Structure 1
Amino acid sequence: MDILRYSAFTTDPKGGNPAGVVLDAAGLDDAAMQAIAADVGYSETAFLFHEPDRVAVRYFSPLAEVPFCGHATIATAAAYAERFGLGPLRLQSQVGTIEVETRVGVDGLTATLRSVPPHTEPIGAGALEALLRALRWDATDLDPALPVRVAYAGARHPVVAAGTRARLADLDYDVPALTALMAEHDWTTIDLVWRESATVFHARNPFPPGGVYEDPATGAAAAAFGGYLRELGLVEVPATLRIHQGHDLGRPSLVTVELDADPGSGVAVTGTAVPIE
């Protein structure tokens, strides 16, 4: 069994979000996959199971299994393409079928995934108050043009928009409080965003349930955020969004999100991926 290491949403192995990839996980049970993910130590490790009629994928953080992970999907597609060739790849995840396409462009090997259909949910006043308290934010820190909602495109992420880039840069949350709150509400990461322009955003994603203080690039949250913008009419569609993430960690990442005008369609998330030596 080979445990591969790739960094997604970057052309530099020192940037982006690293992921473990096991292209053939036959024979591994849950405990073995959890142990491998903890040993690898990245925010996610993806495991592929080649079945007669499909390729199944499962994702494990160092602490727990998650239903869907965008950056590990991009990393997996890149690793798969380098060994078996470019083209489409259908992955059966816990949340449904994820279509992934790989190609070689000017920036190298690039993968595009299409999420399951997204939707948003309201957040209750009590949960919002607890969330802001755990983040050590208050209502004056928020951008009123981007209301707080829970966004879903395979995993659930509260979208919390900062009014300034400085507010986004100052990340100092209460780890035990946020971890407990996220477990209570089944939130995978918290999608903190700041809008630079109509289609350019900056993001940070606390991920304490996975044993990671912050994710450097979060494809699942980017897909959910794209669906949030489209559903609430906060961007003109069709649209191509650019989401910058990881800069505050010294691991710059670029996530490209494409939205069509069909409110029921999945969100396309594109990024490059490179092996980590």
Structure 2
Amino acid sequence: MRVPIFQVDAFANRRFAGNPAAVMLLENFVEDAALQAIAAENNLAETAFLLPDGEDYRLRWFTPTVEVPLCGHATLASAAVVMERLSPHRRRVIFHSVSGALTVDRRSDGYVMDFPARPTEPVEPPAGLAETLGERPVAVAADRFNYLVLLESAGQVRSLSPDMAAINRLDRTGVIVTAAGDDGYDFVSRYFAPAKGIPEDPVTGGAHCALTPYWAERLGKMDFRAFQASKRGGEIGCRLLGERVELAGRCVFYLEGHAEV
């Protein structure tokens, strides 16, 4: 089977920044084992599989090792594929996923995604967390997916070199580390998820579904300019809208072709 494939740098203003995602357009969803094998072969943080559904699309996301319930950067990349390659006249697309309907609008300066918020609750730090991160947390919160760790400064977040094996042993699938921003950003963050086959994710939309309500409560406002301080780095516009968040960013195409699967 010959399948169109696109590789897109999401949450990026230039090529080789942001988070690369593979987007593959299918006529039907083949068995899960085959989708997982394709994602492993692509060897990117996420592969998005698109299936036309009337005017909308069905969407699934796979890391090299597991299927995930929500992925921001691969959704952003999928929207760019739909509205810049498949249907250039479109200004909106709706993706149907296990996380519900996800709407993406095209704007003059990029794309805006409508995602579910993921509020966190304060928790006691898991044993050994400071040693795992190499920094002492100011506070720790969690949702059912990730720990969210607040550090004292953006510099600590940027220089962090955590113990990935220890993170992999935690009872959440990932750790979001954040601090008040520098360089004009409201907050900075990094995201580590070795349990999902992603030691460090370059730019993570799903993490900002938790970071947006977290910083809204701390800073008393709803709109943010955020930066994920991985090696590639990426900027995300965030807005809290009740139980939803808007995540805004740009995309840059890197590769377009076909895969034999």
TM normalised by structure 2 equals 0.87
* Alignment equivalent of 1:101, drawn from 105, 120, 124: 105
Aligned to 2:220: 236
* Alignment equivalent of 2:197, drawn from 204, 211, 222: 211
1:51 deviation in Å? Answer: 3.3
Higher helix residue share: 1
1:56 deviation in Å? Answer: 1.6
Distance 1:206 1:35 in 2: 23
Aligned to 1:148: 140
Deviation sequence 1:59-112 (CA, Å, 0-9, x none): 10011111000111111101110121332211111121111111333xxxx111
Are the aligned partners of 1:150 and 1:158 in contact in 2 as well (CA < 8 Å)? yes
* Alignment equivalent of 2:87, drawn from 70, 84, 89: 84
1:180 deviation in Å? Answer: 2.2
Are the aligned partners of 1:44 and 1:62 in contact in 2 as well (CA < 8 Å)? yes
Distance 2:115 2:102 in 1: 6
Aligned to 2:43: 41
Aligned to 2:186: 200
Q: Which runs of 5+ in 2 are unaligned?
A: 256-261
Change over 3 Å in CA distance of 1:5–1:176 after alignment to 2 = same
- In the alignment of these two chains, the number of paired residues is 250
1:223 deviation in Å? Answer: 1.9
SS state at 2:177 partner: strand
Distance 2:4 2:239 in 1: 33
Are the aligned partners of 2:56 and 2:93 in contact in 1 as well (CA < 8 Å)? no
Aligned to 1:222: 208
* Alignment equivalent of 1:68, drawn from 67, 70, 74: 70
Q: Percent identity?
A: 28
Aligned to 1:134: 132
Deviating runs (4+, > 4 A) in structure 1?
A: none
Deviation sequence 1:118-148 (CA, Å, 0-9, x none): 322343x3x523433432333xxx34xxx32
1:117 deviation in Å? Answer: 3.9
Distance 1:269 1:100 in 2: 9
Deviation sequence 1:155-208 (CA, Å, 0-9, x none): x23211111233213322222221121xx33x3x31111202696111111121
Change over 3 Å in CA distance of 1:214–1:117 after alignment to 2 = closer
Change over 3 Å in CA distance of 1:53–1:74 after alignment to 2 = closer
One-letter amino acid of the counterpart of residue 59, structure 2: V
Distance 1:28 1:111 in 2: 29
1:224 deviation in Å? Answer: 1.5
One-letter amino acid of the counterpart of residue 47, structure 1: F
Q: Which runs of 5+ in 1 are unaligned?
A: none
Aligned to 2:258: none
One-letter amino acid of the counterpart of residue 224, structure 2: L
Higher strand residue share: 2
Aligned to 1:245: 228
Aligned to 2:163: 174
TM normalised by structure 1 equals 0.82
SS state at 2:127 partner: helix
Distance 2:53 2:246 in 1: 26
Aligned to 1:119: 119
RMSD over aligned Cα atoms = 2.2
Distance 2:55 2:87 in 1: 18
